[in-house]
Amino acid sequence: MKPKVIKTTEDYQAAMARVDAIFDARPGTPEGDELELLLLLVEKYEDEAFPIGLPDPITAIRFRMEQQGLKQKDLEPYLGSKSKVSEVLSGRRELSLSMIRKLVNGLGIPAEVLLREPGAKLQPSTVLEAAKGFPLAEMRKRGWFEGFTGTLAELKEQAEDVLSRFVQPLGGACTVPALNRQRVREGSRSDPGALQAWRVRVVTMACKEPLPAYKRGSVTKDFLGDVVRLSYLDDGPRLARELLNKRGIHVVVERHLPRTHLDGAAICMPDGSRLVALTARHDRLDNFWFTLLHELAHVGLHLDRHDDVDAIFDDLDRASEDQWEKEADALAGEVLIPAKAWEGAKLGRQPNEAAVKALSEKLRIHPSIVAGRVRFQSGNYTIMNNLVGRGSVRELFERSGG
């Protein structure tokens, strides 16, 4: 028989028959060389066709305990308390990444066994370093950690596992929340950890909705005008989101975290789409429409034109001398209410509700937009409370799964 690569059961059976026939061949003879080659080919085939599975992690731990003469209490430095050791060994508690790291480093159990994946290796834990400063208590309270229902103490113990799942939808390099360059509105005093946690949250939410491909440069002044005209309709915010989604732009509303002072953000997504994330911090329609247009202005004027900036965060309550903020403010303001129309309405001198409604009808936009401009220009935020759409934004998006 001429030795050849074994590919089928028939090849294997023929090779084994030949091995039996020449098994006593002396080394160095033609048959001895043939036997040596056949045994290598048989071993290769058996490794591929009949792989030996990895041992169960608990079996591996118990085997190492027996080897080293360890008792259950000796595992506490690796697994935690006495009760946790008992729960792990009985199969009632899954091994956490933290436990696995300690078992690999302390007891020398292969990572692939504990991870239940042939060839798997533990990677350096970048997520814990990246997530320093995350407000874990508030994030847990809001239910941001899907599948986790434990206490805050348990969350801290399982931080690497829970946070890895939290950032996992971002994928690849995005598992580290600090992506590329970002701009925070000048003068902001936001907590960096809370800001990044909120960012991961809104990007993760956006990742769940597949959208058409985003076309760079599609956010023009005319397109923004189309968005604003939807405000005239009762369901305007939802319809605006639908229109933007069709253009590859995600719209997510997620309450800001304490110490972030956020109104909204414009973000480049990992797949190249764009995300406008809003907090509805003031929960008013006038604020919603201005913030939406302001962030869209950032997309068109700045994100689409600067590859080294992938996120812009805004606190619109704070005045800014930043040029980009001035440009976004100017474009949003002009699209919402053109300067010529504003001057013609003389609302700066005669701010009354009838005039506000008349201008909104003329422009076919929601009265809240005009009322909001009157309040801003006059500096009097106590007037026209019944026109600014107070308390309606969050409810609308919560109903529609925003």
- Give the pairing type, strands 309-314 and 249-253: unpaired
Burial of 186 (0-12, 13-18, 19+ CB in 10 A): middle
What integer pLDDT is reported at residue 127 of this predicted model? 74
Question: From start to end of 74-203, where are the E strands?
Answer: 181-184
What integer pLDDT is reported at residue 340 of this predicted model? 95
For the chain, the average pLDDT equals 87
- Separation CA 127–CA 131 (nearest Å): 6
pLDDT higher than threshold 90 for residue 45:
no
Question: From start to end of 288-390, where are the E strands?
Answer: 309-314
Give tens-digit pLDDT for 145-158.
988 888 998 888 88
Q: Which helix (H) or strand (E) holds 253?
A: strand 249-253
Q: Helix 221-229 and helix 236-246: axis angle, to 10°?
A: 150
pLDDT higher than threshold 80 for residue 103:
yes
Give tens-digit pLDDT for 209-264.
999 999 999 999 999 999 999 999 989 999 999 999 999 999 999 999 998 889 99
- Separation CA 78–CA 70 (nearest Å): 12
Backbone torsion region of residue 187, taken as left when φ is above 0, otherwise alpha when ψ lies between -120 and 50, otherwise beta: left
Give tens-digit pLDDT for 258-291.
988 899 999 999 888 999 999 998 899 999 999 9
Backbone torsion region of residue 119, taken as left when φ is above 0, otherwise alpha when ψ lies between -120 and 50, otherwise beta: left
Give tens-digit pLDDT for 134-186.
999 999 999 999 888 889 988 888 888 888 888 877 764 344 344 445 677 65
State percent of the chain over pLDDT 90.
48
